[in-house]
């Protein structure tokens, strides 16, 4: 009989010795044991015409985490009214920022680049495979998790790319990841990256981005606005921590920049429907600042890790027009961290931290 101890040569550990044990010759082929990392952002349509937009909006606005209204009330409104009119309007907005060279939205372009750069950062970890997905649209979470499992990933780290937690974003990504597991016979172990709204690496990257951008301007903003995606007030009252996370990010960024409270303020954009959302609203705040005589402002979007429709069109175009129309003179949008060196430092740090014990 060969004992395990007999397989261990002098100076090697038990773990190294066990790696040398080979399966029997007639054993079915084994895949290499790998670890998957899946970056996930919100989503994007596949095109700007009616049907791609309708499919995307239909999936997004049918998510019970996003719209909590009773299905019997909401679905007739969605199918009968919203999906008849909104795809054309939203498609025109997407067309104005579309990456025509790759025929895709900027969000897809940037998320792919983040995945490629993360893979390069982790190249020394040969057992790690990096992939990316979208919660709505393609490539889907289920598709990419199945692909990772097919490549031999026995452990998968899912990274919802949202610094501030909300049930409407982080939770629905996690829901979909676990839904994918439900249909797998051999389930990989699963971890998810927690929110990082107050992580020093994230705050420092934001501060560096702000300072570098402002240094290039030919004016000094009197006010800088940190605009976050909005959320219905009712979700906040039910216990969603998103508002608190946004306020903490803003406070820590302000302290890092050593600015007074009046120089950096938090607002909320992209409200939808008649319900009251988190306030102050970004567009109303920008309008009021202009009416109050503020002539120079800059806006950043700390809650978005990649530029998208809400930043490139809603802020950089629509809200610029609001400010100038009401008397403002100078407006600048500060890009998201995207796949910049600072942005990738944050993503890499979060991933390496959560992979501890697996590598």
Residues 187 and 281 in one domain: no
Rounded to an integer, the average pLDDT of 272-291 is 97
Domain that holds residue 206: 200-333
Question: Is 325 marked as binding a ligand?
Answer: no
Instruction: Give the 3-state secondary structure of residue 40.
Output: strand
CATH of the domain at 328: 3.40.50.1400
What pLDDT, on the 0 to 100 scale, is given for residue 24? 77
Domain count for the chain, please give it.
2
Residues 129 and 169 in one domain: yes
- The reply to whether 76 falls in a domain is yes
CA 61, 66, 69, 72 dihedral sign is: positive
Over residues 161-185, the pLDDT tens digits come to 999 999 999 999 999 999 999 999 9
Show Cβ contacts of residue 133 under 8 Å, excluding neighbours closer than 6 positions.
38, 39, 40, 139, 140, 141, 143, 144, 145
Over residues 78-136, the pLDDT tens digits come to 999 999 999 999 999 999 999 999 999 999 999 999 999 999 999 999 999 999 999 99
Residues 100 and 164 in one domain: yes
Kindly provide the residue ranges of all beta strands, DSSP E only, lying in the chain, ordered along the sequence. 34-44, 128-137, 153-160, 189-192, 223-229, 264-269, 296-300, 330-333
Residues 188 and 39 in one domain: yes
Residues 170 and 104 in one domain: yes
Considering only 3-12, 140-149, 303-312, 335-344, which range has the smallest mean pLDDT? 3-12
Q: What tokens were used for 279? A: 């306030």
Q: What percent of the chain has pLDDT over 90?
A: 90
- The reply to whether 1 falls in a domain is no
Question: Is 243 marked as binding a ligand?
Answer: no
Query: Is residue 21 scored above 80 in pLDDT?
Result: no
Position 17 confidence tier, pLDDT thresholds 50, 70, 90: very low
- The reply to whether 2 falls in a domain is no
- The reply to whether 5 falls in a domain is no
CA distance 250 to 224: 11
Over residues 43-75, the pLDDT tens digits come to 999 999 999 999 999 999 999 999 999 999 999
Over residues 199-227, the pLDDT tens digits come to 999 999 999 999 999 999 999 999 999 99
Q: What tokens were used for 314? A: 């809603």
- The reply to whether 285 falls in a domain is yes
Residues 87 and 139 in one domain: yes
Over residues 293-309, the pLDDT tens digits come to 999 999 999 999 999 99
Residues 178 and 56 in one domain: yes
């Amino acid at each position: 009989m060969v004992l395990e101890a007999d397989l261990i040569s002098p100076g090697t550990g038990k773990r190294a010795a066990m790696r040398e044990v080979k399966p029997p010759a007639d054993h079915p082929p084994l895949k290499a044991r790998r670890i998957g990392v899946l970056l996930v952002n919100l989503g994007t349509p596949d095109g700007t015409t009616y049907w791609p937009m309708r499919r995307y909006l239909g999936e997004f606005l049918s998510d019970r985490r996003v719209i909590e209204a009773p299905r019997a009330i909401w679905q007739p409104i969605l199918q009968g009214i919203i999906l008849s009119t909104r795809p054309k309007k939203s498609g025109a907005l997407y067309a104005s920022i579309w990456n025509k060279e790759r025929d895709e939205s900027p969000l897809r372009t940037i998320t792919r680049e983040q995945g490629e750069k993360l893979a390069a950062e982790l190249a020394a970890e040969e057992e790690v495979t990096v992939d990316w997905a979208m919660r709505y649209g393609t490539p889907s979470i289920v598709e990419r998790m199945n692909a990772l499992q097919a490549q031999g990933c026995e452990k998968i780290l899912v990274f919802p790319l949202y610094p501030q937690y909300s049930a409407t974003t982080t939770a629905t990504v996690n829901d979909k990841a676990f839904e994918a597991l439900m249909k797998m016979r051999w389930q990989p172990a699963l971890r998810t990256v927690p929110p990082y709204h107050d992580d020093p690496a994230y705050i420092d990257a934001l501060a560096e981005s702000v300072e570098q951008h402002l240094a290039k301007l030919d004016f000094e903003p009197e006010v800088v606005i940190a605009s976050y995606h909005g959320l219905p007030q009712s979700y906040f009252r039910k216990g969603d921590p998103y508002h608190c996370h946004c306020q903490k990010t803003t406070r820590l960024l302000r302290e890092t920049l050593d600015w007074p409270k009046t120089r950096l303020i938090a607002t909320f954009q992209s409200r939808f429907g008649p319900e009251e959302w988190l306030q102050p609203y970004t567009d109303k705040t920008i309008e009021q600042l202009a009416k109050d005589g503020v002539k120079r402002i800059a806006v950043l979007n700390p809650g978005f890790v990649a530029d998208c429709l809400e930043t490139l069109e809603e802020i950089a175009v629509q809200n610029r027009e609001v400010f100038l129309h009401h008397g403002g003179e100078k407006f600048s949008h500060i890009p998201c961290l995207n796949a910049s060196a600072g942005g990738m430092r944050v993503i890499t740090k979060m991933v390496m931290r959560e992979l501890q014990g697996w590598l």
